[in-house]
Amino acid sequence: MADPRLFVDADACPVKEETYKVARRYGLKVYVVANAFIMTPREPLIERVIVDAGPDVADDWIADNAAAGDIVITADIPLAQRALAKGAIVLGPRGKAFTVDSIGSALAGRAIGEHLRSVGQITSGPPPFQATDRSRFASALDEAVHRARRLRR
């Protein structure tokens, strides 16, 4: 069976370079999906996909094209849920894996945050992105590639 493919929800993704590095190491195809032009390396294994503007258009493209054993990189919890339903491995940009067991609580936490903001409560965003987050992500992606390859055998 073919190697896993990597799908990057590229708008505001801070770990594209780390993704390219891991993909090069294993010779994996990367789809960098965004609704506006984004710079990508000119390499045969890295493909920029520009989708129409609009809410969730990039997410829809990724969810429609990712398959079981592929790897999706996103901070978007609803997209993570859709990718997991297709059998993909899903990583957040800080290296945290979304799983079938954890996605429900992640969705619930997102809903609570949205509700609090809708009633005027000020909520804190995520902490600033650190070098340790990049390192953790690269390590988690490396592990995900090995797991995906085992799943595809």
Distance CA 98, CA 76 (A): 10
Number of H helices, E strands in the chain: 5, 6
pLDDT of residue 128: 85
Express each pLDDT in 46-71 by its tens digit: 999 999 998 899 999 999 999 999 99
Domains in the chain, ordered, with CATH? 6-151 (3.40.50)
Residue with tokens 């505001």: 12
Q: Answer yes or no: are the C-beta atoms of 5 and 29 closer than 8 Å.
A: yes
**What is the pLDDT confidence band of residue 121, given thresholds at 50, 70 and 90?**
low
pLDDT of the residue at 104:
54
Residue-wise pLDDT for 18-47, tens only, equals: 999 999 999 999 999 999 999 999 999 999
Mean residue pLDDT across the chain: 88
Instruction: Specify which residues 48 forms β-bridges with.
Output: 32
